Each structure stands twice: as C-alpha cells, then as structure tokens.
Amino acid sequence: MSMGVHRLWKDTFVASLNPGNAKVGKVTRSIDVAGGTGDIALRILDHARERKADRDLTVDVVDINPDMLKEGQKRFRKTMYHASKIF
C-alpha cells in the first residue's frame, strides 16, 4: 500500500538513532515501544551489528497487542537473532 515508502522511513529513523556501541563490553539497551512485529527492532540490531560490530546491543519489544508480538516472535525465529529473548 505504501509502495515501499515505509521501509525508507524506518531505515532513516534507525540511521538517525545510530544504535550500537563500538566499545567492547559496553552493552546498550533499547526499547521499541508499540513495536508490533519487530521491524524497527530488527533494523536496530542490524545497524548495530553491521555499522559498529556491536553484537551485545539488546532490544526489548513491547506492544499492547499480543497477536502482533506473536507475529514478531515468528519473524525473529527466522533471523540470525532467533536465540535472542527479545519479546
């Protein structure tokens, strides 16, 4: 419906946050409020890993809708972050 524009603003948003920490042993925590299916959380994790080699960053996803969180859990199981306890 958005012809892919939603992906662009999500990528721009995460880039503006610039998540992650290049210092070894320094853990950064993030919270994705109204995170639904975890699209932003995945982008945050990817950005930290790809741009700063940060594999310690954590993201907590919260949402009022349990069905959306269940869908997010399914999506995370299909990624390299499948072992993460994010939801």
pLDDT in tens, 40-83: 999 999 999 999 999 889 899 999 999 999 999 999 999 998 76
Question: Can you tell me the distance from the alpha carbon of 27 to that of 54, in angstroms, rounded to the nearest whole number?
Answer: 9
pLDDT band at 33 (very low <50, low <70, confident <90, very high): very high
pLDDT given for residue 41 in this prediction: 95
Query: pLDDT tens for residues 7-31?
Result: 899 999 999 999 998 777 778 889 9
Is residue 1 helix, strand or coil?
coil
Residue bearing the bigger pLDDT, 3 or 17: 17
Question: Can you tell me the distance from the alpha carbon of 86 to that of 11, in angstroms, rounded to the nearest whole number?
Answer: 20
